[in-house]
Amino acid sequence: MPEYLSPGVYVEEVDRGPKPIEGVGTAMAAFVGFTEKAEMAREIDGELVVENLLNRPQLVTNWTQFVERFGGFVAGVNLPQSVYGYFTNGGSRCYVVSVRTFPKAEATLVNAQGKP
């Protein structure tokens, strides 16, 4: 214990040892499912190359990037809604794996004679 020789303000330094290691966030969202498409177009040496993204994890950082690579909303496919909700609620990075594509169905209404 230190010996105080005069009244007043005293500073006493206490060694507390090394600082503990603090944890950091390691959470990363991942989505696996069906999408409208699974391709990414790139220009390599002046030539447009379309890369197949099926069954390959892709880092996606916003909704626009998701739509460019995997397409938009498709009836009966839940993955786009899940990713959209993730980004709408403040998500910033996620991995997406498309295991199968379901292009949007195109329908033409016809009359009783079978004509559009």
| Paired tokens of 79 | 């993955």
Decide if 81 is inside a domain: yes
Regarding pTM above 0.85, the answer is no
- The count of residues in the chain is 116
- Would you list the DSSP string of 37-82? --EEEEEETTEEEEEE-BT--EEE-SHHHHHHHH-S--TT--HHHH
| Location of structure tokens 């959470």 | 27
Decide if 8 is inside a domain: no
State the pLDDT at residue 1.
58
State the pLDDT at residue 8.
74
Residue 71 lies in domain: 29-101
Decide if 10 is inside a domain: no
Give the number of domains in the chain.
1
CA angle at 76 for the pair 70 and 77, rounded to the nearest 5°: 25
Residues 20-39 pLDDT 10s: 777 777 789 999 999 999 99
Decide if 66 is inside a domain: yes
Share of the chain above pLDDT 90, in %: 55
State the pLDDT at residue 94.
97
Mean per-residue pLDDT of the chain: 87
| Paired tokens of 6 | 């005069």
How much is the average pLDDT of 3-14?
Answer: 72
Share of the chain above pLDDT 70, in %: 93
Decide if 85 is inside a domain: yes
Give the residue, 60 or 104, on which the prediction is more confident. Answer: 60
